[in-house]
Amino acid sequence: MIVVPAHMGRMNKLALLNRLRQLGTASRAELAKSLGLSQPTCGKIVQELLRFGVVEELHGHRTVARKKELPARRPRLGRPGVMLRLDQTRPRFFGVQLDVTHTSLARLAVGFTGPDQWEVRVPTGRSARDWIRQLQEATRALPMEETWGVLISVPGLLDAERGRVLFSPNLHWTESADLRAIAWAVWRSPVVLMQEEQALALGHYQVNPEQDSFLLVDFGEGVGGAVLVHGRLPANPLPVSGELGHTPIPGNTRRCGCGAVGCLETLVSLRGLLTSFREAVPGASHSWEALWQHVQQHGVEPWLARTLDATAVVIAGALNVMGLQQVVLTGLLTELPESVIRHLTDRIREGALWARFGEIQVVAAPRHRAAGLVAAGIEKLVLNRLGEGSPGHYRMTRGGPVLDPSG
């Protein structure tokens, strides 16, 4: 047992897990030095993490590519330390992406940092009853030896502490559903709900730790964003953040699922883009593939340029307010020909004040929502397993499943 106050012990464990996640691999000595811990303290933490299956040793793998290098120092004499990494061998979490039309699921290890690769995809349905039936069917195809928790990416305005969706413009039935109770009924495991854009932002940082302050904007069934500052999601007085898609665009008369008229989302979401394509090119096949081919052949035509220009104004305004210089774009727009992102990038730089003095970076990236969910699971669930008594005993409360210290 580590002879430090409980809170300090928890902080040390979390710091070690975060550092190991950033580095990819490290020895005990490297972790101790980089975190400013004594080697005995670091060693005790590592032993506990090994015992619970949170980290694993890489015997015979002394040279492993790292996501982030430690500062250079003189080589140490003697036998090199055994390298450690977060466990990538055994899946511990069920990751769930709740989306408007479909729900995707995957089994995730503690050390997972790859791009999204969902194992099962089922219809979301139009009610909580539909959704629970689909989840029950999907889990039969995903056996797991031991489940540490269920991590759910949720669209809309989410009060994560209470586990309630306050408002979901494109999935209204979730506003009256207890998603944590539904997931508990299916898996009998603790549940973490995370707003989908925040999961994307946190996941991008886990995979790219050198990028720790940015505005992420995702384009799909809807349009949303999230801000990361120095590797942390800022706390807000209200559970409202990154709702770029619901910024009104002058001259736009389309009605949005949120009840307003003219939202950006009605232009640059999947449905919005296809609607604009259908209006501009009546004789074309109105599918995503047809849109891609048309843009590839004709470039950014005026109808598409107007949508991208409106999108750029909203993003540049957010950069000016937040004081950020990097934008990470994920989702549908990144799948279109490169001319689309080039046009959008140029317009963002025209509108961002910092571009007058420095550089605005716009990066197109794959989605890493699952990696963000795992990072949340480590902080909210794994650390609870590292206390005294038998891990994994939870009881249901009105606020959801909590660790039962009585075991």
pLDDT digits (tens, 9 = 90+) for 273-305: 999 999 999 888 889 999 999 999 999 999 999
Residues 46-53, mean pLDDT to the nearest whole number? 92
Residue 376 DSSP symbol: H
Pair 225, 215: CB distance under 8 Å:
yes
Higher confidence at residue 228 or residue 70?
228
Tell me which H or E stretch contains 95: strand 91-98
What's the CATH number for 6-86? 1.10.10.10
Most confident of 14-18, 165-169, 310-314: 310-314
Q: Which pair of tokens denotes residue 50?
A: 């090994």
Residues 6 or more apart whose CB falls under 8 angstroms from that of 300 comprise 308, 339, 340, 343
H helix or E strand, kind and range, residue 346: helix 338-351
Give pLDDT, residue 66: 53
Q: How confident is the model at residue 79 (pLDDT cuts 50, 70, 90)?
A: very low
The topology (CATH level 3) of 209-364 is: Nucleotidyltransferase; domain 5 (3.30.420)
What 8-state DSSP symbol labels residue 379?
I
63 pLDDT higher than 90: no
Among the ranges given (7-11, 192-196, 307-311), the one the predictor scored with the smallest mean pLDDT: 7-11
Tell how strand 191-195 and strand 149-154 pair up. parallel
Q: Which residue has the tokens 């559970």?
A: 239
Q: Is the pLDDT of residue 407 over 90?
A: no
| pLDDT tens figures, 215-239 | 999 999 999 999 999 999 988 777 7
| Helix ranges, 110-227 (H) | 128-139, 179-187, 196-207
164 alpha carbon, distance to own chain's centre: 18
Superfamily of domain 91-199+369-403: ATPase, nucleotide binding domain (3.30.420.40)
Q: Which residue ranges does the chain devote to CATH 3.30.420.40?
A: 91-199+369-403, 209-364
Q: What is the mean pLDDT of the chain?
A: 87
How far apart are the C-alpha atoms of 101 and 80, rounded to whole Å? 51
Confidence of residue 81 (pLDDT cuts 50, 70, 90): confident
Q: What is the pTM of this model?
A: 0.86
Two tokens at 218? 């995702």
DSSP string, 1-58: ---S-HHHHHHHHHHHHHHHHHHS-B-HHHHHHHHT--HHHHHHHHHHHHHTTSEEEE
Q: Where in the chain is the domain with CATH 1.10.10.10?
A: 6-86
Report the distance separating Cα 343 and Cα 381, nearest Å. Answer: 42
User: Which of 6-20, 60-74, 198-212 has the lowest average pLDDT?
Assistant: 60-74
Q: How, if at all, do strands 191-195 and 326-331 pair?
A: unpaired
Cα atoms in the Cβ-side hemisphere of radius 13 Å centred on 295: 26
